[in-house]
Structure 1
């Protein structure tokens, strides 16, 4: 396989994993924090009814990203171009990136909701964002180690 084709497949593995990671993280966020724990809605600056509608739209987004990632994965497997370590690393990168975006942009900058409505939300924000950064570092480590190993061989 030529290097241009290998790069294309590596990029497709990354895109597939990132989409799946974003979708999966958004799905878990919506189910756990919005539905089960009822800590917040996707959009909390209006009525509860609007909050529930925004949760439904957010849930649909999470499934579009997840399904998109899985369609790309199916194509990679069909072409025998699936690179497991890069794909799993990309899932962590996508999930962590989504979580960091949620914790910084949506929670703090746009203020569309908080992770939890308590007096000391800083602790929740800190844990949320540190976990996101750790996922991203782990994902990048997987991706880069796989690429270095491939370059060395």
Structure 2
């Protein structure tokens, strides 16, 4: 693998990882919290039918992001420009960013749903958002580590 080729495609590696991470964690959210545990729907401020339709759109978004990220990975591999460490960090960054957006914007500001409808929801909110921040920090550290390794090998 040529390092110079990888450095020319750093942004595309990051974009592919972020898209895949967003899509993957959105898919897991949909399956675990919406379908298996029945904690909430994507949009809980209306009827159950509207909630199911909103879940369908959410599910379509998650697959679109996931597949788009994988198409970019395939293109990077074809060009011999795929950096696995950079991609791993970007996946975690995308996953954490989605969860933090979900936890702050959708749960608290827009109030389109809560993570769970219980009396002490703050416990769930704190854990959800701390996990998101941890994923983002780990992801950013892997991205920086990967970029440093690329610079050292040039």
TM score, norm. by length of structure 2: 0.95
Q: Counterpart in 2 of 1:144?
A: 144
Q: Counterpart in 1 of 2:92?
A: 92
1:20-49 residue CA offsets vs partner (Å, 9 max, x unmatched):
000000000000000000000000000011
Question: 1:8 Cα deviation (Å)?
Answer: 3.7
Q: Counterpart in 1 of 2:61?
A: 61
Partners of 2:103 and 2:74 in 1: CA distance: 31
Any unmatched runs of 5+ in structure 2? none
RMSD of aligned Cα (Å): 1.3
Q: Counterpart in 1 of 2:28?
A: 28
Any unmatched runs of 5+ in structure 1? none
Question: 1:151 Cα deviation (Å)?
Answer: 1.5
Secondary structure of the structure 1 residue equivalent to 2:119: coil
How many aligned positions are there? 152
Partners of 1:150 and 1:56 in 2: CA distance: 41
Q: Counterpart in 2 of 1:106?
A: 106
TM score, norm. by length of structure 1: 0.96
Matched, 1:121 2:121: yes
